[in-house]
Amino acid sequence: MKRFLAAFCVFIWLLPWVSVPCRAAAPAEIENAVLDASGAWVPYTSAIPGEIVACRSSVTLLGGQEYVLRGMLSAGLTFDSVIAVEQNGKAVNASYFTLLTRRLSSQAAFEVHLSASFADPVSTVVTVLYTVKLNDAAVTGEEGNAFGMEVVDAGGEERRGEDARLRTYAASVYRAVTIPDSEKQSNPLRAVCFSLFYDSALKNRVAFRDAGGGSYLACVADDCQHTRHDYLLNTPENGLVRLQGLSEGVYYLQETRTPSGYKTMANALEIVVGEDGSVAASGAPCAEGVLSLVEQRVTDSPKSKETSDMVSFYEKGCRVMAAAVAVLVLVKRFVL
């Protein structure tokens, strides 16, 4: 008994200096990120349909096991290509894995198969770098379009971390006319044309595709494989044109054509789409993302003759047009 106690005490004394091999802890959560315009990896960013965006998915795995890393995309995203597979920050030797880049289903874009010998029997960080782009099914709004990586181990257990997102936004322009003392407070104007520009010099127009009903979907024109783009956006009967698929940033709206007898907006408006999808015109927020451009006509009534007839713009939602547009003397009564 004394020998046993002595041996036990020696064991306890030596225990802090003894290294006991053990397996790593359970794998960490999967981390998904997207590369934004500033070059930083973030949980979400915004883009225009057709734009190719770099993505990154990382997971900590136990070595000595087989895994399948599966890229999962929402319906609004299209898989482009796998750029690289890294192990602890270094490119993985091709002999350790089999890479399938074909589309496996409507959700699974690619699979990376890792053999049991891809790493030592300790934890290792595997990162997949790949690219996706927004397509015509992209969801408009702050939540955006999700992507991420699903990990399946040898036992068939599946794990998936919190998805990263690509967001796309929308803005609307309402064009109308009012006549004081008229029964109609607002009469929408159809066939008014607008163009949206990336630059204040009005040289680089945003490309759109007509989605019908006065709705237009923005698109990256280069190598998008679409047969036609629209650069003039026409208001329908209700006077409301909707610009979908915009990314966060600054744009410039120019009215390029107005029906005969109506005043054309003189200057382009600066439109700012915020990170949360909010819309502001010349610094003033637009309620529900709608910029209202309403032309006010003064009739040839005796009262109006005393003050001289004129045409001016006022903006009900953002209050940005009152002092920006010149007046025009009317020579006859307008019939709407």
Scanning the structure block, which residue is given the tokens 């990162």?
127
CB of 57 within 8 A of CB of 90?
no
Q: Cα(first)–Cα(last) distance of the chain, in Å?
A: 111
| Maximum C-alpha span of the chain | 122
pLDDT score, position 2: 54
Per-residue pLDDT in tens (0 to 9) along the chain, 336 residues: 555 555 555 445 544 444 434 443 445 579 999 999 899 999 999 999 999 999 999 999 887 788 888 899 999 998 888 888 888 888 876 555 666 555 555 567 788 888 877 766 678 889 999 999 998 889 998 888 999 999 998 888 899 889 999 999 999 999 998 877 666 667 899 999 999 999 999 999 999 999 999 999 999 977 777 888 999 999 999 999 999 999 999 999 999 998 888 888 888 999 999 999 999 999 899 999 999 998 877 654 444 333 333 334 444 334 334 323 322 222 222 333
Whole-number Å distance between alpha carbons of 243 and 230:
12
Tell how strand 123-134 and strand 52-62 pair up. Answer: antiparallel
- The phi, psi pair for 281, rounded to 5°, reads -120, 120
User: Looking at the DSSP assignment, which residues form a beta bridge with residue 281?
Assistant: 271, 284
pLDDT score, position 232: 94
Q: What is the DSSP string of 136-153?
A: TTPPBEEEEEEEEEEEEE
pLDDT score, position 3: 56
DSSP reduced 3-state for 70: strand
Six-digit token pair at 55? 């993505």
Q: What is the DSSP string of 61-88?
A: EESSS-EEEEEEE-TTEEEEEEEEEEET
Which DSSP state fits 183? S
Minimal CA–CA distance to 103: which of 71, 149, 56? 71
CB of 210 within 8 A of CB of 227?
no
CB of 266 within 8 A of CB of 191?
no
Amino acid at 102: R
CB of 11 within 8 A of CB of 110?
no
User: Looking at the DSSP assignment, which residues form a beta bridge with residue 108?
Assistant: 72
Scanning the structure block, which residue is given the tokens 């289903």?
105
Scanning the structure block, which residue is given the tokens 């979908």?
244
Neighbours of 270 (CB within 10 A): 15
- The phi, psi pair for 287, rounded to 5°, reads -60, 130
Q: What is the DSSP string of 242-311?
A: EEEEEPSEEEEEEEEE--TTSPPP-SPEEEEE-TTS-EEETTEEPGGGEEEEEEEE--S-HHHHHH---E
Is the alpha carbon torsion for 203, 204, 209, 211 positive or negative?
Answer: negative
pLDDT score, position 185: 67
Domains of the chain, earliest start first: 25-162 (2.60.40.740), 168-314 (2.60.40.10)
